[in-house]
Structure 1
Amino acid sequence: MKAMKRTALANLIKATLFSAAAGSAFTATAAEQQGPAAKDKSLEVIQITARKRVENAQEVPVAVSALQGDSLDAYSSAGMDIRFMNAKIPSLSIESSFGRSFPRFYVRGLGNTDFDLNASQPVSLVVDEVVQENAILKGFPVFDVARVEVLRGPQGTLFGRNTPAGLVKFDTVKPSQDFEGYGSVSYGSRGAIDFEGAVGGALTDRLSTRVSVLWQDKDDYIDNVAPGFEQKDVLGGYTDQAARIQFLYEGDDFTGLFNYHVRDMDGTPIAFRANAIKSGSNDLVSGFDHDKVQHDAASRATQQVESQGASLRLEWDLDEHTVTSITAWESAEIYSRADIDGGYGGYEINGQAVPSGPGFIPYTAESADGIPDHDQYTQELRLTSNFSGDFNYQVGLFYFDEALTIENFSYDTSANGALNGYVHQQQDTQAWAVFGSVDYTVTDDFKVTVGLRYSDDDKEFSANRTLSPINGGTLFLTENPSDDHVSWDISTNYKVSDDINWYARVANSFRAPSIQGRILFGDEVTVAESETLTSYETGIKSDVWDGRGRVNLAVFYYDMDDQQLTAVGGGANFNRLVNADKTTGYGFELDTQWVLTDNLNATFNLSYNNTELKDDDLAVAVCFQCTVTDPTYQVPGANGPENRAILDGNSLPHAPEWISNLTLRYSRDMADGEFFTYADVSYRSEIDFFLYESVEFEGKALTEVGLRSGYRWAEGDNEYEVSAFVRNLFDEQQAIGGVDFINNTAMVNEERYIGAEFKVSFF
């Protein structure tokens, strides 16, 4: 079976390489036919900061994709949160069991399915050069953003801990001396109203500012139809508000940038739907209705998020060197309560069983998680050379300090939601690192980069259970894991021609030890040791068709030791961290852009990721009533024999083999303006929701189509735009996640969304 997969992959890589070469040959011929005019419609040069320098993306020896301009606007319309990037970039997927507040990122199949608020991820999020470590910080809304970069593969040298899979990097629009801004308002399905805007300009000859705001509001629209608990419009809504203010001082040899941002979100969590998956298949049950749930605790469901942060970036230009200091503080609070079992009943009142449904509900699960207190402080100091010769370098220091308080609550649904379980977790993390990177130009066409980073990480953790929902008594447990690691990378870039760059990269990174102390339903705090990954990658970045086409291709293989995994659920509402002995992955990524005609632009992206766990002894508890396809064996459990699935040979959860995305943008001058239409199609193949494989908890392949069409014109110093858009055009609905510890409970993707927008930009 494995040999067949490798043969198929080899054929696919050959086919992809052939397609790229054939495309280059075809477009070269087409360019000759087009003549000199083709140069006037060439693709723009994309400048990125993947290596903390401003560089041409085509000359950086890293697999990186960037979103900006019309693509970014189209994807993020319709009030979307950060999950709008799911399957829009090769090898990137994003999901959440919290809804808008807790995104989980996966790159090249590597991610973390853990829903605990202390969960770490192997994909880091960096916003305006500041790492967003806690998962709640990662959910900050996306608005007034200039560019999104996704760096695939280990980024442990320049960006540090918790980046073995890569990172997602956001750069917001910065202040300038020019007075400019925009405002947009849209109205869409379910009464959704979205407003965002920004304005900025000079305060003095050296000081400028920019203020950006976002307000998103959507009505509750999901009805609760459980007998005895009927309620109209009880779930699905939110009000999300965010703002950012920046001040930029530009001296002769010094710049200073201050950034303050804040968010306040009040809404409801994602809807859990009991027995929504048909037993023995991965289909949604017949008659599934997105607008209805059958809960007995829907009236108490709520989700509130508050976060804020500030950063100060100081930079001194010392001719041949630049000194950069970035000081930052981030803070987040959340309280999220939900009917986790997704049904009603499953308990007794005064010795009498309460009718339950839909389907079999063996027991109730109503719980909440909260962060009442959180502070993250970071400091980076780096020295960058600006030599005109063949040699340049960067060196730096980094410090990270986080204090995190987590509360876990359990409620007795049979007693109108009375508190029956409480755990207080406290974690303090200190980490520091020293890093350096050297660039050397061997010849005009051949460059080498070598990077090294030493990281030290220490955690102090305690979990205190004062009330148990299962009569487990009080419990106080502590852990204090620590580790250090040397990450490194070596990359080369060879200029085959003026339009083709070939690169190769070997890199190593790690994820610091993780702790899972969710002891409401268990008596154990689990610790996962550090995971380490070594990646081997090579690729070609090429501009073709006289600058009207761009074809980038990467092929990679990685080997991970002691991968941190989360054994979620398995018949009990309890998470356990484990380390897999070895994990391997390989695949390819094709990223292309085209100017097909003067009026039509296109992009096409495709990625393949094969992941495999290799551990003969690794086994986890399985679902309560689903059809497990892995080999299983039984072990004694608190409530009788417990089935465990053997994971050796399985792929990773939420790791689609295939991700593909196609976009087309058509524009034409009309009257005194421009008519435009933007279409995108994204696809991801099947995924397993959990570490083990089962029929019900294999997510089907998902294809979503988006359209945006409008008219843009200018009057005086203003530019206006009106547009209509739709997301998930064909209203494809299916399970995108599950809860396995009680029944075949599912979470379902967003339904079709239709809206219209008006935007004005002023200069």
Structure 2
Amino acid sequence: MKLNRRGLVTSLRSALCSGCVIAGASGSALAQNTPAGDDTTLERVVVTAQSREQELQEVPIAIQVVDDKLIQDTAAYDLQDIATFVPGLVVSGQKTQPRFAIRGISTGDFGIGTDPAVGVYIDGVYSARSGGAVLAFNDVERIEVLKGPQGTLFGRNSAAGAVSLITKQPGRELEGHLFTRFGNDGQRYVEGLVNTPLGETTALRVSALRNQSDGWLSDAASGKDLNGEDNWATRAAFRWDISSATNATLTWDHEKLDQLARPAIGIVPLPAAPGRPPTPPDPNSYLDPRHAPLFNDVEGNEESRTFDGATLALNHAADWGQISSTTAWRQFDSVNREDEDGTNRRNLYLDTANIEDNESFYQELKFSGDSGRVNWVAGASYYREKARQTSQVNVFTDSLDTLFLSQQLAPTPDGTLFGYFSDVLGSLGVPLSLLDHRWREQVDNTADSQAFALFGDTIWKLSDRSNFTVGLRYTRDEKKFSWFNGARSAPTLDATIAQLLPLIGELPPELQEQAMFALAVAGGDIVFANGTLEGQKVRDKDSWSDFSPRFVFDFHATPDTMLFASLAKGYKAGGYNSLDIGAKFDNEDVWNLETGIKQVVPEANLQWNASAYYYVYSDRQAIRLDPNSAGSGVPRYLVDTSDEKAWGLDFGVQWQPSKSFSLDANAAFIDATFKDKVAPSGADLSGQATGEPYFSFSVGAQYHWQLASAGDVTLSLRHAYRGRSRCNADSQLQGDCSISPNFDVGTSQQRTDLRLGWTDASQHWRVAAFANNLFDKRYVDGIGNYTTDVFGTTYATITPPRLYGVEVGYQF
């Protein structure tokens, strides 16, 4: 990677534009800095966000751009790391099961029957599953975060907005770099890149990286490190200039993630073993998870993913315009096994696992042209996805006894089942036990989906100062889905029961009746209790179609001031609930009305942008914990729908008071409420807040010293704030808010990053020291209530501590 002579200052200015809420557009964009004549003049950023080359300040959609310099300054590895500095964007959860949200709209598609509300695109290729979207920043040029519906050009499932990652392309110059980072908690990061021409018309670009850390949590019993990272990625891109008018780029990506799953920190004080906590536990007794001991006994603890992708991009310049074709294939498989009890007790053990295998194909053909008065884009796309998913619950017969006891399901004197009969067998001198046997239940799903789309977007130049844009996309989604809830698996228990069957007739009559009940219970599912549907494969198919229009009017009041207003519709396909056999839901729609202003003040070296929006959401899909399970007491995560509305403001400013000093700030305000909503718990949430905080912002400053022949030094400081969650009547169950007096869930969060870097005069060597979360702010991220009512084992997750370290790099 090459840096120009103004190095860090110039790069920062591009990054600072990411701090402003600027008008932009959908599509794969190419940002480039156009030098102004003075070091104190704000850089022009040119993008092709609407498949047209336009100055970023001239495009009437709210967009925030994060370039490779800001990624480097914040030591960001993936989208979860950078989202903190993009107000209105949230990327939470684990890498294989993340949740994306823009302007308070999200889904969290951990089931293959649902789709995300935020579209994630890598070089214009849609990532259908969020589990394959949070990938390493491998040779990324920039990230564009587009707020509001982006259906016209981006397409389906971008009703809330879109996140577009654009990677660097092969060039005609030999260049490369080697970069390492070392930090606390055993962090080791290394990346390398080589770009080389292979002839007059071809070039190759190859990059690779490795990221590891020991983890910042440890097991209180074993001392084993937890929450570590271990992943690597590689990328190769080959470009061929077939002619002066035609070029082709073939790209291949591979990534491997193999680490332990995120641990759960138990927050309920436990009695001495084998005692059990009360169900439900008293929130007043909860321990502060930031200081509580951590115990993890998950068997087969794993979060892993293998990802492969290939993309062929063809571009041809004709006399009348441009023809572009994108052909892409993606495949990933993932495993995420999570602790759901936060203890190391057999009689409280429960883990869940999500196992996926996904393969997709994407083809888009796009045409564009500009006649002076009319600038147009039109095209068609086809998408096909085949996916398999297994949702598991793993327990021991000891923990099933805890469930029987808390839910009063066993007709035995002590309320247990397996423990009671083990004691009976012992009293009879039978050397067999029904305890300590592993028990697994699972639901298997398959999905076969395809989508067709036709789209067009036209900018009409009404005058030298005004434009009117009309866009329309037609989409048809078709899905085939299946459920299979097979028999539970407990091989060692079954072997023990087989030995006991001949002995049942020798038991006293009253024990024979209880034994037959125990055998009946032990023969079927308890958590996924689907009755007559157990063992049957259930299939369904459905289709949805939609017309999504977009209307935009922009007016240049002065050469440096643009006003705009837009009305756009977003659409997300309907789908199926993976864990609720036979359940499906309609597509969701959103109408977004927005108006804004963008202004540059050249004499002050300042630009600012503001927009206001109002949206109405129909049938918004959300995954929530449903306490009304099928009799076992163990809740399920189900998809429900609601109608919502919100209004909000986005604001951003960038200021370059001198050639050495620069400032930026951006902010988001939103008031989001339910119009019509009854939660799975039965709570009527109509008129209540959806949970999204009112306010978030980020600010940044950078000072640059030129040391003549000794190179240059840059000090960067950045701070982010996200306000308190607005709780509703269902927030406590979902784990978004807490009533415990010992800690706060949903409180406002802050993060401050500091970086001091030096680059030598030749621009080859660079050294830096950094501290992320400088003041070591720790927060309780959420509460897990999956086993609260059945085991009394509420758990929590917390945010990472301070990360500090050094970086060394060489480039040519």
TM norm structure 1: 0.84
| 1:263-289 Cα deviation digits (max 9, x unpaired) | 011101112122279988899834733
Instruction: Write the letter of the residue equivalent to 2:703.
Output: Y
| 1:442-499 Cα deviation digits (max 9, x unpaired) | 0001011100011000110001111344173434322323110000100011111121
Q: CA deviation at 1:175?
A: 0.7
Q: CA deviation at 1:174?
A: 0.8
Correspondence 1:568 to 2:625: yes
Name the structure 1 match of 2:680: 620
3-state DSSP of counterpart to 1:568: strand
Does structure 1 conserve the Cα–Cα contact (< 8 Å) formed by 2:361 and 2:383?
yes
Name the structure 1 match of 2:253: 261
Correspondence 1:442 to 2:442: no
Name the CA distance, whole Å, in 1 between partners of 2:558 and 2:139: 37
Name the structure 2 match of 1:636: none
Larger C-alpha radius of gyration, 1 or 2?
2
Name the structure 1 match of 2:598: 541
Q: CA deviation at 1:92?
A: 1.2
Deviates more, 1:244-253 or 1:562-571: 562-571
3-state DSSP of counterpart to 2:207: strand
Deviates more, 1:87-96 or 1:409-418: 409-418
In structure 2, do the counterparts of structure 1 residues 569 and 76 end up closer, same or farther at CA, with 3 Å as the change threshold?
farther
Q: Pairwise mapping of residues 267-282 of structure 1 onto structure 2 (< 5 A)?
A: 267-275=259-267
Correspondence 1:505 to 2:566: yes
Name the structure 2 match of 1:364: 349
Name the structure 2 match of 1:704: 751
Name the structure 2 match of 1:683: 721
Name which of 383, 386, 390 aligns with 2:367. 383
Q: CA deviation at 1:242?
A: 0.4
3-state DSSP of counterpart to 1:383: strand
Name the structure 2 match of 1:289: 291
Does structure 2 conserve the Cα–Cα contact (< 8 Å) formed by 1:85 and 1:93?
no
In structure 2, do the counterparts of structure 1 residues 691 and 620 end up closer, same or farther at CA, with 3 Å as the change threshold?
farther
In structure 2, do the counterparts of structure 1 residues 648 and 123 end up closer, same or farther at CA, with 3 Å as the change threshold?
same
Deviates more, 1:689-698 or 1:47-56: 689-698
Instruction: Write the letter of the residue equivalent to 2:63.
Output: V
Name the CA distance, whole Å, in 2 between partners of 1:283 and 1:709: 44
Instruction: Write the letter of the residue equivalent to 1:370.
Output: I
In structure 2, do the counterparts of structure 1 residues 440 and 186 end up closer, same or farther at CA, with 3 Å as the change threshold?
same
Q: CA deviation at 1:525?
A: 3.9
Does structure 2 conserve the Cα–Cα contact (< 8 Å) formed by 1:284 and 1:735?
no
Correspondence 1:692 to 2:734: no
Unaligned 5+ segments in structure 1 are 1-19, 21-36, 348-362, 622-643
| 1:242-261 Cα deviation digits (max 9, x unpaired) | 01100111221101111100
Does structure 2 conserve the Cα–Cα contact (< 8 Å) formed by 1:114 and 1:568?
no
Does structure 1 conserve the Cα–Cα contact (< 8 Å) formed by 2:340 and 2:786?
no
3-state DSSP of counterpart to 1:120: coil
Instruction: Write the letter of the residue equivalent to 1:577.
Output: V
Instruction: Write the letter of the residue equivalent to 1:574.
Output: R
Correspondence 1:46 to 2:45: yes
Name the CA distance, whole Å, in 1 between partners of 2:294 and 2:52: 50
Report how many residues are paired: 669
3-state DSSP of counterpart to 1:645: coil
3-state DSSP of counterpart to 1:176: coil
Name the CA distance, whole Å, in 1 between partners of 2:97 and 2:179: 26
Q: CA deviation at 1:552?
A: 0.9
Name which of 393, 401, 405 aligns with 2:388. 405
In structure 2, do the counterparts of structure 1 residues 608 and 220 end up closer, same or farther at CA, with 3 Å as the change threshold?
closer
> Percent identical across equivalent pairs?
24
Name the structure 2 match of 1:742: 787
Name the CA distance, whole Å, in 2 between partners of 1:273 and 1:206: 57
Correspondence 1:657 to 2:694: yes
| 1:481-539 Cα deviation digits (max 9, x unpaired) | 311000010001111112111111100111001222125xxxx3432210101100011
Name which of 647, 654, 657 aligns with 2:685. 647
Name the structure 2 match of 1:669: 706
Deviates more, 1:463-472 or 1:184-193: 463-472
Q: CA deviation at 1:735?
A: 1.6
Name the CA distance, whole Å, in 2 between partners of 1:593 and 1:146: 21
Q: CA deviation at 1:39?
A: 4.2
Does structure 2 conserve the Cα–Cα contact (< 8 Å) formed by 1:224 and 1:293?
yes
| 1:377-401 Cα deviation digits (max 9, x unpaired) | 00000110132x2112111001000
Runs of 4+ residues over 6 Å off in structure 1: 276-284
Q: CA deviation at 1:720?
A: 1.1
Unaligned 5+ segments in structure 2 are 1-19, 21-35, 270-279, 399-434, 489-524, 628-632, 740-744, 789-793
Name the CA distance, whole Å, in 2 between partners of 1:479 and 1:547: 62
In structure 2, do the counterparts of structure 1 residues 663 and 322 end up closer, same or farther at CA, with 3 Å as the change threshold?
same
Name which of 222, 232, 237 aligns with 1:241. 232
Name the CA distance, whole Å, in 2 between partners of 1:270 and 1:576: 22
Name the CA distance, whole Å, in 1 between partners of 2:778 and 2:582: 37
| 1:74-110 Cα deviation digits (max 9, x unpaired) | 1244xx33201223123112111xx233321111110
Q: Pairwise mapping of residues 473-622 of structure 1 onto structure 2 (< 5 A)?
A: 473-518=534-579, 524-546=581-603, 548-570=605-627, 572-580=634-642, 582-615=643-676, 618-621=678-681
Name the CA distance, whole Å, in 2 between partners of 1:119 and 1:734: 30
Q: CA deviation at 1:419?
A: 4.5
Name the CA distance, whole Å, in 2 between partners of 1:596 and 1:285: 49
| 1:211-265 Cα deviation digits (max 9, x unpaired) | 111100112453222xxxx322242122110011001112211011111000011
In structure 2, do the counterparts of structure 1 residues 418 and 284 end up closer, same or farther at CA, with 3 Å as the change threshold?
closer
Does structure 2 conserve the Cα–Cα contact (< 8 Å) formed by 1:710 and 1:722?
yes
| 1:291-350 Cα deviation digits (max 9, x unpaired) | x512332x5311111001000000110022111100000111011212122223372xxx
In structure 2, do the counterparts of structure 1 residues 132 and 205 end up closer, same or farther at CA, with 3 Å as the change threshold?
same
| 1:338-363 Cα deviation digits (max 9, x unpaired) | 2122223372xxxxxxxxxxxxxxx5
Name which of 451, 471, 478 aligns with 2:471. 451
Instruction: Write the letter of the residue equivalent to 2:264.
Output: F
Name the structure 2 match of 1:30: none
Name which of 430, 433, 436 aligns with 2:450. 430
In structure 2, do the counterparts of structure 1 residues 192 and 241 end up closer, same or farther at CA, with 3 Å as the change threshold?
same
Q: Pairwise mapping of residues 189-200 of structure 1 onto structure 2 (< 5 A)?
A: 189-200=184-195
Does structure 1 conserve the Cα–Cα contact (< 8 Å) formed by 2:565 and 2:594?
yes
Q: CA deviation at 1:549?
A: 1.4
Does structure 2 conserve the Cα–Cα contact (< 8 Å) formed by 1:569 and 1:741?
no
Deviates more, 1:606-615 or 1:738-747: 738-747
Q: Pairwise mapping of residues 64-103 of structure 1 onto structure 2 (< 5 A)?
A: 64-77=63-76, 80-96=77-93, 99-103=94-98
Does structure 1 conserve the Cα–Cα contact (< 8 Å) formed by 2:456 and 2:471?
yes
Deviates more, 1:104-113 or 1:114-123: 114-123
Name the CA distance, whole Å, in 2 between partners of 1:467 and 1:377: 34
Name the CA distance, whole Å, in 1 between partners of 2:223 and 2:102: 39
Name the CA distance, whole Å, in 2 between partners of 1:380 and 1:239: 35
Name the CA distance, whole Å, in 2 between partners of 1:263 and 1:71: 23
Name the CA distance, whole Å, in 1 between partners of 2:657 and 2:111: 47
Does structure 2 conserve the Cα–Cα contact (< 8 Å) formed by 1:90 and 1:591?
no
Instruction: Write the letter of the residue equivalent to 2:42.
Output: L
3-state DSSP of counterpart to 1:210: strand
Name the structure 2 match of 1:14: none
Does structure 2 conserve the Cα–Cα contact (< 8 Å) formed by 1:374 and 1:405?
yes
Name the CA distance, whole Å, in 2 between partners of 1:575 and 1:259: 37
Instruction: Write the letter of the residue equivalent to 1:231.
Output: S
Name the structure 1 match of 2:514: none
> RMSD across aligned C-alpha pairs, in angstroms?
2.4
Hey, which of these two has a bigger chunk of strand by percent?
1
In structure 2, do the counterparts of structure 1 residues 114 and 160 end up closer, same or farther at CA, with 3 Å as the change threshold?
closer
In structure 2, do the counterparts of structure 1 residues 286 and 385 end up closer, same or farther at CA, with 3 Å as the change threshold?
closer
Does structure 2 conserve the Cα–Cα contact (< 8 Å) formed by 1:38 and 1:548?
no
Instruction: Write the letter of the residue equivalent to 1:746.
Output: A
Instruction: Write the letter of the residue equivalent to 2:653.
Output: T
| 1:23-82 Cα deviation digits (max 9, x unpaired) | xxxxxxxxxxxxxx99432121122232122221100011111111432321244xx332
Does structure 2 conserve the Cα–Cα contact (< 8 Å) formed by 1:87 and 1:659?
no
